[in-house]
Structure 1
Amino acid sequence: MLAIQISHPVPHMKLDPVSLRLFVSVVEEGTIAAAAKREHIAAAAVSKRLSELEELLDSKLLNRTNKGITPTDAGLSLLYMARSVLNNLNEIVVQMRDYSHGRRGSVKVLANISAITQFLPGLIKSFMELYPLINVSLEEKPSLAVTKNVAENQADIGIFTRLPHGADIEVFPFRTDRLVLLVPYGNPLAEHLSVRFSETLEHEYIALRSGTHLNFQLIKAANDLGRSLKIRMEVSSYDALCLMVQAGLGIGIMPAGSAEVYKMDGAKVINLDETWASRELSVCVRSRDALSVASRLFLEHLLEGQ
């Protein structure tokens, strides 16, 4: 004999957060009337929602007596799950509102080494104290790469040493820094308080790597004098430059603010008497109006007091 199994059709209604919220209210209040008052809805509407919920889940969820309403075992299980679901839904609303108001989000920042070592640590710290739910991602890049990447929408905000560029970006003044000469003790230049750049060109240099604005700036300054820069070694960071100078391997030029960061018992900082030693650092964005709320808040934080 062929056995035919007949399954009951699943009701077309869908589980929705309103029904779950009403169910939780009924269980917590103990009566439909009290739940209806709490939710500002007619008692008949609450009762209808509960019946539809039991039909949808194919389970008896509530025991109704003269003393009130209590959950069945199935209803108690649903109560825990419903509270969790409603809490998660509420958290979605809260977090999305945080994004729209700029309290939550992320900002990708590209900056050259001068900005990172001199200015950004304190600024990022104060920003994150104001907006702890905004994540700031910081990556070090040479100035030209900063402008190019921001123009190509690979970062939200860039900070670079002001230089000619062909990038389609909006630029704002940020800070100024001043270049100084770093020499090891024992070098003849260490006897001076201030020197001209031309006086340094007989000495071998520890230079920041090719592609950085500082490397380009020093080579150009030497070429403008009809001289060449004697580069003994290229390094990728200011701390490496300081260590090499202190070891007596050469002299170096770096921003005064960066030189103050490093402890240098074996080297002396000397003023560089050149107009080009004063430099402008700038902030760039592809479009200020197109920034996310979080990115716009970070931009405004950078530009405060400018």
Structure 2
Amino acid sequence: MKLDPISLRLFVAVMEENAIARAAAREHIAPSAASRRLAELEAQLQVELFTRSNRGSSPTAAAFALLNMARGVLNEMDGIALQMKDYAQDGGKGLRGHVRVMANISSITQFLPAQLQSFLSQYPLVDVRLQERVSTDIARAVEDNEADIGLLNNGSYGSKIRLRPYRRDRLAVVVPLGHALARKRSLRLTQVIAHDLIGMHADSALNHLITRAAADQGLQPRLRMKVTGYDALCLMVASGLGIGILPEGSARLYTGTLPLRCIALDEPWADRQLMLCLRSQDALSPVAQLLVEHLCLPQHAPTL
């Protein structure tokens, strides 16, 4: 059986766009030709990928199974093209390949920059493609073969991915200089949520953690506004619009340049475990395995 990569790429686009017309436009092909290619793919595989009705079409269980495999095949094909291009440019010297990484904002702001720099200094021809996502999306992307490696908060994400310890971080409170809490050495949640909070966006693990911890104590945080990044959170706090909770390592990036004070959060849940996740039944490429081992090396130097 010879599967056409163009048809596979089109099939993935249809699954991601949930519409043949949008997928056809994305792949620069006429809708009629897209429909014909999908029908030919079904005939070649001898399985129905979409159930069709007057209301449109919907993917079958076989389509979802094929989606994971197709992404893997297309990723490998893209990797072949990139590696051959590198070989043509340098005569075939050095380890090469590409790795798809998704990470949450805590991993990206505290640990990944230095780790990726040291890894890429050893393997300069490796292409690491990094995207920031929230932890639930990262787990789903690794499971669906959209990413090779994920870095996310510890949690329960199902049996199709496996987790390895990555790093620990600790949550802290940032307040403006001169704030009523600025002289405190540590703070409890009850003290923090008595003030206006600058929070992270609704889908973030940090937002869920704070909301749940407050609810356990019968409290309701006064969220004045929500932002999408730690930089925006610190800027809002420095402007006197509220106080915020974020990882201590991330807060330290801004306390030297903004009028902020970073204070320990004295709560058991403030100490967090970050994890590295992989597909449970997947064999990583050699270069991806090298990156995994590099990321999981013991942390000898302090984070801050």
Q: Is the 8 A contact 1:103 1:134 kept in 2?
A: yes
Give the corresponding residue for 2:260: 267
Among residues 119, 128, 131, which one is paired with 1:127 in the alignment?
119
Matches within 5 A, 1:219-234: 219-234=211-226
CA 1:133–1:205 in 2, change beyond 3 Å: closer, same or farther?
A: same
Give the corresponding residue for 1:4: none
Pairwise CA distance, 1:260: 1.2
* Deviation per residue, 1:11-41 (Å, 9 max, x gap): xxxxxxxxxxxxxxxxxxxxxxxxxxxxxxx
Among residues 146, 167, 180, which one is paired with 1:175 in the alignment?
167
SS of equivalent residue, structure 2 residue 173: strand
SS of equivalent residue, structure 2 residue 182: helix
User: 2-side partners of 1:126 and 1:136: how far apart?
Assistant: 13
User: 1-side partners of 2:220 and 2:262: how far apart?
Assistant: 23
Q: Is the 8 A contact 2:165 2:275 kept in 1?
A: yes
User: 2-side partners of 1:141 and 1:221: how far apart?
Assistant: 23
Pairwise CA distance, 1:165: 2.2
Whichever residue aligns with residue 119 of structure 2, its letter is: F
The structure having more radius of gyration, on CA atoms, is 1
> Is 2:296 the counterpart of 1:303?
yes
Give the corresponding residue for 1:163: 155
Q: Is the 8 A contact 1:118 1:258 kept in 2?
A: yes
> Is 2:276 the counterpart of 1:291?
no
CA 1:232–1:93 in 2, change beyond 3 Å: closer, same or farther?
A: closer
User: 1-side partners of 2:85 and 2:242: how far apart?
Assistant: 59
Give the corresponding residue for 1:281: 274
Provide structure 1 residue ranges, at least 5 long, that are not aligned to the other structure: 1-90
> How many residues of Structure 1 are paired with residues of Structure 2 in the alignment?
214
Question: Could you tell me the percent identity over the aligned residues?
Answer: 44
TM-score scaled by structure 1? Answer: 0.66
User: 1-side partners of 2:229 and 2:141: how far apart?
Assistant: 21
CA 1:247–1:280 in 2, change beyond 3 Å: closer, same or farther?
A: same
Q: Is the 8 A contact 2:148 2:288 kept in 1?
A: yes
Pairwise CA distance, 1:166: 2.5
SS of equivalent residue, structure 1 residue 189: coil
SS of equivalent residue, structure 1 residue 124: helix
Pairwise CA distance, 1:120: 0.2
Give the corresponding residue for 2:98: 106
Give the corresponding residue for 2:185: 193
Whichever residue aligns with residue 253 of structure 1, its letter is: I
Task: Give every structure 1 segment of 4 or more consecutive aligned residues whose post-TM-superposition deviation is greater than 6 Å.
Answer: none
* Deviation per residue, 1:165-221 (Å, 9 max, x gap): 235101100000000000112321112111111111111110011111101000001
User: 2-side partners of 1:228 and 1:149: how far apart?
Assistant: 33
TM-score scaled by structure 2? Answer: 0.66
User: 1-side partners of 2:280 and 2:97: how far apart?
Assistant: 18
Q: Is the 8 A contact 1:147 1:167 kept in 2?
A: no
